[in-house]
Chains A and B, each alone.
Chain A
C-alpha cells in the first residue's frame, strides 16, 4: 500500500489529477450545485442530461480525441503537429461535400466520414513524410499545412460555407433518441476503448516510446523508426477526421475559418498538462485526456464566473503557466530541497535525477 502510494506520487499523473481536483474543489466552494446534473427534455422531445459536468465532458470531446493523436506524434517525433485545426477543417469539408451530394442516410454518413478519414490520413502522411524522411522538425513541417489547410478546406466546397441538415447528423452532434448522454461523449468513450485495445494488442506503445527516446537504438533493434513516426501522424489523421466530423455534426455546417479554431494549441497544452514531455519518449494517453478535460473545465468555470468568452484565454494562460511552473523539474527540486531543509531530512532526491 505504502509502496503503491509512493509509486503514484512519482507518476506523471499527479500534477494533472491534482489540478483537476483543485478546479473541482474551487467550483464546489463557489457553487455547491456546480456539478449537479439535471434531467431535462430538449427541443426534439428527448429526455437528456444537462448541466456543467455534461457540458465539460461534451465540449472537450474533439479536444480529447485530438490530444490522443497529438500525444502519439509528440512521443514518436519529439515535436508537435500544429496543422490539426486546418486538417480538421479539410476533413470536415470533405465530410460535408460528400453529404451534400447524396441523400443523407446512415451509410452515406459513414462513407462521408471514411472519405474525410482518408483525406486526413493523406495529409497526415504528408506531414509524416516531411518529418520522418526529410528529418524536418514537426512544427516547421506542419507549418505548411497550417498555412494552406483552411484555404484548401474552403476550396473543397467551392468557396462557400454550406449547411447540411439532417436529423441523422443531429444524432451524432447532439443526442440519439432514447440515450440521455450526448453522442460526442459516447464517441470519445468508444474511441478511448478502441485505442486502449490497440495499445493492449499491439506494440504501438513500446515502439513509439523506443523511437521517441532513442531513435538510433530503436532502429538497431529492427524497429522501422521512420515508419512509426509516419504511423503516428496517420493515427493523428484519423483523430482529426473524427473530431472534424463531430464538429460539423454539432452545428450542421462547415465553416472552414472557425471549425476547431486554435485546437492545435489546446491539444499541445493538453499533452503538456498531462505530464508528457514535449521532447518525446514515454507518454500517458490518460494524462493527455485528463489535460483536455482540465482545459475544458477551466473554460466552463470561467464562463460560469461571467468571464467573457474572448477574455477566457488570458485566465487560461495564467493557469497553464502555474501548472508548468509546478511541474518544472527545477521548481520541484527546489521545493524538495526546501522541504528537506525545513524537516531536516537528508536529501536523497538528487540521486534519482
Chain B
C-alpha cells in the first residue's frame, strides 16, 4: 500500500504507475538526500562544506565510471567482475608507457581505452558466442589483468611525465561555491578532471540506455531472454556489446583512477568490482536483469561513499567500521528490493514458456528467472 501511494506521489500528475526502475531509483535518491540532510543537521561541520561533498566525486570518479559499465551488463542479466583488475592494469600500463617509453598524454588515453576495449572484446566473445558463464570468464579476466599488472611492473610506480602531471593537477574551480578557511579567506570548491569524465559517462550511458536501440534491447534481453529472441532481437550480439561497453568503460575508469592518484599499483582498485556491483544494486539495478539505470548507479556510489563520511563523523574512526556499515547498508537495500518487488508482485519476470522454446543453457535461464 505504502509503495503504491508513494509511487502515485512520485509520478505526480500522470496516471501511469511508476515502473520498477523508477521506484527503486526514487528510493535510492531519497535515501541519499535524506542521509546527507540528516548528516548536515546532526554533525554539520564537514557536511556543510561543499568541498566535502565534491570530494565524494573527486575520490570516486573511477568507481562511478566502472559502476556504469556494470549497470549495463547487469541490466542485460550478466555480470562483469574484471573491472577492478582492468582498472589496475590500465593505471600501471599508462604510467610505464608515459615514463619509460616517452609516451604522450593522448597516447596514454588511447592505451587505456585500448586495454579496456580488448578485455571487453575477448570477454564478450567468450560469453555471448561461446556461451560460457560470465562469472567464470570475467573472473579469469580479473586474474589475467591483475597478473599482467605485476608483469608490467611489480613495484608501484608514480608518474613523473611532465605534461601528464600538469594534466592531472588541473582543477576546475566551481564559481561561487566554497568555504572559508581558518583565517577567513575564501577557498573555492574544486573538482578534478576525472569528475567531468565520470559525469559525461553517466550522461552518455543514461542516454544509451534510454534512447538507443541497443539500450532498449539490453532491457529486453534482461527482462526475458526468450521473449527478446522471439521479438527479433539479436540476443547474442546485445550481450556481446554489453560486455564490450563494460570493458571500454573499465578502461576509462582506469585512466580516471590514474588522474586521481597519479600512480600505477597492482593493489589499485582492489575489490572495486564488488563496490561497483554494490553501487549498482543500491542504485536500483536488479542482478536478475531488466531493471536499472545509470543515474541510480551514480546515487548508489554517492550513498555508499557518504556512509563512510557519516561513520567517521559519528566517531567510529577505526577503518573496519566503514566496511561493516557498508555491509549493513547493502543488506538493507538488498532486502528492501526483495520486499518491494515481492509486494508489487512483479519480482520475477519469469513468464511461462512453451517447453520447446526453452534455451538449452539451463544455467543461464535459471539465473535469469530464479
Contact = CB atoms under 8 A, between A and B. Distances in A.
Note whether A and B form a binding pair. Answer: yes
B162 interface: no
B136 A324 contact: yes
A317 B330 contact: no
Contacts of A149: 327
Nearest to A265: B139
Contacts of A277: 362-363
Contacts of A268: 135-136, 139
B318 A269 contact: no
B283 interface: no
Nearest to B123: A321
Contacts of B328: 144, 148
Given A148-B323, A313-B143, A78 B370 contact: yes
Interface residues of A, number: 53
Given A78-B366, A137-B287, A272-B133, A315 B338 contact: no
Given A321-B126, A328-B130, A143 B330 contact: yes
A330 B131 contact: yes
A302 to B, nearest CB: 10
Interface stretch (B25-33, B45-53, B145-153, B205-213): B145-153
Interface stretch (B103-111, B196-204, B250-258, B273-281): B273-281
Contacts of A146: 274
Contacts of A151: 319-324, 327
Nearest to A322: B140
A92 to B, nearest CB: 16
Contact of B137 (A136, A155, A316, A324): A324
Given A148-B326, A328-B131, A313 B146 contact: yes
Interface string B62-77: 0000000000000000
B349 interface: no
Contacts of A312: 147
B334 A144 contact: yes
A329 B131 CA distance: 8
Contacts of A134: 335, 338
Interface in B317-359: 318-324, 326-328, 330-331, 334-335, 338, 347
Interface string B267-306: 0000000100110010000011000000000000000000
B360 interface: yes
B144 A136 contact: no
A170 to B, nearest CB: 30
B132 interface: yes
Given A78-B370, A159-B320, A325-B126, A308 B154 contact: yes
Interface in A235-290: 265, 268-269, 272, 277-281
A197 interface: no
A79 B338 CA distance: 17
Contacts of B79: 139
B364 interface: yes
B363 A279 contact: yes
B61 interface: no
A145 interface: yes
B222 interface: no
A317 B147 contact: yes
B39 interface: no
Nearest to A152: B324
28 contacts: A78-B370, A135-B338, A136-B334, A136-B335, A137-B288, A140-B287, A143-B277, A144-B331, A144-B334, A147-B327, A148-B327, A149-B327, A150-B320, A151-B319, A159-B318, A272-B136, A279-B361, A279-B363, A279-B367, A280-B366, A308-B150, A310-B146, A316-B147, A317-B140, A317-B141, A320-B143, A324-B140, A328-B131
In the A-B complex, the 8 residue pairs with the closest CB atoms: A314-B147, A279-B363, A148-B327, A151-B320, A313-B147, A317-B144, A310-B150, A317-B143
Interface of B: 79, 126, 129-133, 135-137, 139-148, 150-151, 154, 266, 274, 277-278, 281, 287-288, 318-324, 326-328, 330-331, 334-335, 338, 347, 360-364, 366-367, 370
